[in-house]
């Protein structure tokens, strides 16, 4: 099986349904009328495009990005694991110093919350800058929580743009 990262399509017609803060084993695949947990054959699907470096959003409205190394990713499971590992990385004030203008302009409440939590000594990750999982209801792996209204932020995987930028939605 193959996976076209730019179209978010597997060779069998399915697409990925996954929130980047979730562990990779909770990923699902879907078509217009089917939603199911991602199979091992989907995880092992070969990427049709080589992804060396990937720009990933670190702001709720996609106004700031970081670059991650994906040069060792040969299949979907490796790609999602690399993305997930980045968003679970603990960050500090030095990681967001370039975003202070966004806070002062009142542009990003997630960034304000991260800065407040850092000042209190709370551990925060890159994922905290793009969304909040507090609105998720029930078991992470249930079909019910896959409703587009049950998440908050720029957190849903939607493929990779041609210029190797991760496309996330809410």
Give the largest Cα separation in the chain, rounded: 48
In the chain, which residues have pLDDT < 70?
A: 102-107, 133-152
The pLDDT score that the predictor gives to residue 141 is: 45
b/e sequence 113-140, b meaning 16+ C-beta within 10 Å: ebbeebeeeeebebbbbbbbeeebeeee
The pLDDT score that the predictor gives to residue 134 is: 58
> pTM of the prediction?
0.88
The pLDDT score that the predictor gives to residue 109 is: 81
């Amino acid at each position: 099986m193959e996976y076209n990262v730019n179209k978010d399509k597997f060779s069998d017609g399915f697409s990925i349904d996954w929130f980047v803060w979730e562990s990779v084993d909770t990923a699902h695949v879907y078509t217009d009328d089917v939603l199911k947990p991602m199979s091992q054959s989907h995880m092992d699907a070969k990427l049709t495009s080589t992804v060396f470096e990937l720009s990933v959003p670190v702001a709720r409205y996609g106004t700031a990005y970081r670059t991650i190394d994906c040069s060792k990713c040969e299949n979907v499971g490796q790609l999602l694991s690399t993305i997930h590992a980045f968003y679970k990385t603990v960050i500090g004030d030095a990681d967001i110093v370039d975003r202070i203008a966004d806070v002062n302009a009142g542009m990003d409440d997630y960034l304000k919350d991260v800065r407040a939590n850092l000042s209190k000594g709370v551990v925060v990750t890159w994922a905290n800058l793009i969304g909040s999982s507090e609105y998720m209801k029930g078991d992470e792996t249930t079909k019910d929580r896959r409703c587009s209204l049950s998440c908050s932020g720029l957190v849903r995987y939607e493929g990779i743009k041609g210029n190797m930028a991760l496309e996330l939605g809410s």
